[in-house]
Chain A
Amino acid sequence: MSARQHTPETPRRRWREAFRRVQPYLFVSPFFVLFAVFGLFPMLFSIGLSLHRWDPAAGLSQMQWVGLDNFRYALLDDDWFSQSMRNTLWIALVSGLPQHLVALPLAWWLHTRLRGLRNLVLGLYFLPFITSTVALSLVFTSMFSKDFGIVNTALGHVLGLAPIDWNQPEYTKIMISLVVFWRYVGWNTVLYLSALQTVPRDLLEAAALDGARPWQQFVHVVLPLLKPMAYFAVTLTLIGNLQLFEEPFILTGGTGGIDQGGRTAAMHMYRVAFTEGDFGTASAIAWLLFAVMALATWGNNRLLGERKGSR
């Protein structure tokens, strides 16, 4: 209660009082206005689009209601959709799982063994995450070239392998997965390290005093402690990997590669919408991909999420 309450009511005062009350809403409104226009509306509109057949050039009045036909077409008749979905899941798994299998022990190693050099080493692993995907993917296209690429040269020298044609469908996905792994392994290491830093040191030291060997400590003490962060990090990996676009787009020159071996679902959606001009099917694909994403995160929740009632 301030002294101002005692001053007589005047229109000017009342106006100021009203302003004071709407002020918080003004402060938070930019986010909600922009989200409504550029986030929520497009999303709702894409539900509508997914149920219509429409040539964008013909104007809004030419929208034709087709019910679930776009979904049926994508699921049953569009071979490239099912193939791109398989590609996406393959790349998501092959690039995603090793990220965590490397990042977990690496974070622990950085936390327990490296003192002075920790930030430098962490920085080197983390660097790919903040640099331009497009610029570096373009560099990768030359590194993965069949005849003169450094990757094949190195594989030939070290393992004696014959040059691999990375543009062949069976190798395109491996190439994309390698680049995705390279980009995100440091990010996951940072996440796990930040979780480790909240673990009291005496917990680890107590385990060491009990005579636990380092790897026993890791399995029995560290992994259970990191489970909540693993849930969060795997969720991010799933969401990111299932909508993979930039890496495959650049690495296959925007085409999807030979026999569409590197076309992901997000790329397919882009091409259906902007190359073929079929906004209805593209929107249906977006929602199908969203359903897969929801399913994957639900599965992850069952696997790594906090059980209700378990604690």
Chain B
Amino acid sequence: MKPNIALTHALVGAGALVMLTPFWFMFVFATHTNTEILSVPPPLWFGDALWDNLKLLLLRLPSFWHNLGWSLYVALATTALNLFFCALAGHAFALLDFRGRDVLFRALMLTLLLPAFLGMVPTMLVMGWLGWMNEHRALIVPGAVSAMGVFMMRQYIGAAIPREMVEAARLDGCSEFGIFWRLVLPLSWPAMGSLALVVFIGSWNNFISPLIVFRDVENFTLPLALRSLQGTGQTPFGALCAGAAIAVLPLLLLFIVASRRLIEGLTAGAVKQ
């Protein structure tokens, strides 16, 4: 191997390790007391204070397990609704002929260009008028279907579902919803897997919408709950990192199991520019 190739390999590898350091310290600090974390130099290897940190976390944030549950509930509900509604709309755009179809699809794609912050201020008013402040449906309902998801499902259904099969089912008198439910859905699981990952992770990490909607710690989702530990006197870094690790762990597991599918889902729009 030529020296400059070896050098670049080393550089790329070192960069990859640098990317990992925040995760490393998150897990290491989760096992150390605040005194140990606040010493020079900070601990580089695991300690034995994990249990104490968890206890401290629950002391400072008694609703922690509820917050975790709410995060899970919102993410799972959003994902399930997205899979259904995006696939349904994708089915119509890919397999049905109707007046205005192309105009509607173009309108849907145009909505992707509108940045979310434009409606951020009035969204709070809308939630107030609906009586949804402090309620989890304020996150679930607006996120129940996404333009990107409809696009993904339409591309996949259009390419992967054999038209003859759909026609045959129609001639046999199968209703359109029956075709969707019994034929298209079961055949679309690869795209739905990617979509599920993207939606779940997006909802799990969402910070701004819950920040606007929620007032009671009891109802917070996880990112909001973790943030509430900040700035209440001395920040309990050990407990904070333990909480952060719990919030990040499911994502790490998902990533290890399904990174290819996830990357496919996230780049679906980019490759098909």
A131 touches B9 (CB 8 A): no
Chain A residues whose C-beta falls within 8 Å of the C-beta of B37 in the assembled complex: 142, 148
| B-contact 0/1 string along A85-98, CB 8 Å cutoff | 00000000000000
Interface size class of A (residues with CB under 8 A): 35 or more
Known: A42-B121, A135-B223, A139-B25. 13 other contacts (CB 8 A): A24-B92, A30-B88, A42-B123, A43-B114, A46-B121, A102-B15, A135-B243, A136-B23, A143-B25, A148-B40, A195-B270, A274-B212, A289-B117
A-B CB contact pairs (8 Å), 11 listed: A24-B92, A30-B88, A41-B122, A130-B205, A134-B205, A136-B23, A139-B240, A142-B237, A186-B19, A190-B263, A254-B230
Q: Which of A17-44 contact B (CB under 8 A)?
A: 20-21, 23-25, 27-28, 30-32, 34-35, 37-39, 41-43
B270 touches A109 (CB 8 A): no
Q: Which of A251-276 contact B (CB under 8 A)?
A: 253-254, 266, 269-270, 273-274
The answer, yes or no, to whether B142 is at the interface (CB within 8 Å) is yes
Q: B193: shortest Cβ distance to chain A, in Å?
A: 15
| A-contact 0/1 string along B152-167, CB 8 Å cutoff | 0000000000000000
Q: Do A123 and B270 form a contact, CB below 8 Å, given A150-B25, A286-B117?
A: no
| B-contact 0/1 string along A154-176, CB 8 Å cutoff | 00000000000000000000000
Determine the distance from Cα of A141 to Cα of B229 in the docked complex, in whole angstroms.
12
The answer, yes or no, to whether A234 is at the interface (CB within 8 Å) is no
Q: Which of A63-81 contact B (CB under 8 A)?
A: none
B29 touches A139 (CB 8 A): yes
Closest A residue to B231 by CB, please name it: A253
B115 touches A143 (CB 8 A): no
Q: Which of A91-139 contact B (CB under 8 A)?
A: 102, 106, 109-110, 113-114, 119, 121, 123-128, 130-136, 138-139
A23 touches B117 (CB 8 A): no
The answer, yes or no, to whether A207 is at the interface (CB within 8 Å) is no
The 5 A-B residue pairs with the shortest CB-CB distance in the complex, in nearest-first order: A42-B119, A27-B92, A135-B244, A134-B223, A42-B122
Determine the distance from Cα of A274 to Cα of B128 in the docked complex, in whole angstroms.
14
Q: How many residues of B contact A (CB 8 A)?
A: 96
Q: Which of B246-270 contact A (CB under 8 A)?
A: 247-248, 251-252, 255, 259-260, 262-263, 266-267, 270
A141 touches B235 (CB 8 A): yes
Chain B residues whose C-beta falls within 8 Å of the C-beta of A46 in the assembled complex: 118-119, 121-122
Chain B residues whose C-beta falls within 8 Å of the C-beta of A2 in the assembled complex: 170-171
Q: Which of B73-127 contact A (CB under 8 A)?
A: 85, 88-89, 91-93, 96-98, 101, 104, 107-108, 111, 114-126
Q: B154: shortest Cβ distance to chain A, in Å?
A: 10
The answer, yes or no, to whether A212 is at the interface (CB within 8 Å) is no
Q: Do A132 and B244 form a contact, CB below 8 Å, given A191-B270, A245-B208?
A: yes
Do most interface residues of chain A lie in helix, strand or loop, or is the interface mixed?
helix
Determine the distance from Cα of A174 to Cα of B93 in the docked complex, in whole angstroms.
46
The answer, yes or no, to whether A194 is at the interface (CB within 8 Å) is yes
Determine the distance from Cα of A274 to Cα of B208 in the docked complex, in whole angstroms.
12
Interface-side segment among B52-60, B61-69, B143-151: B143-151
Which of A20, A24, A31, A126 has a CB less than 8 Å from the CB of B108? Answer: A31
Which of B41, B104, B170 has a CB less than 8 Å from the CB of A153? Answer: B41
The answer, yes or no, to whether A237 is at the interface (CB within 8 Å) is no
Determine the distance from Cα of A300 to Cα of B111 in the docked complex, in whole angstroms.
20
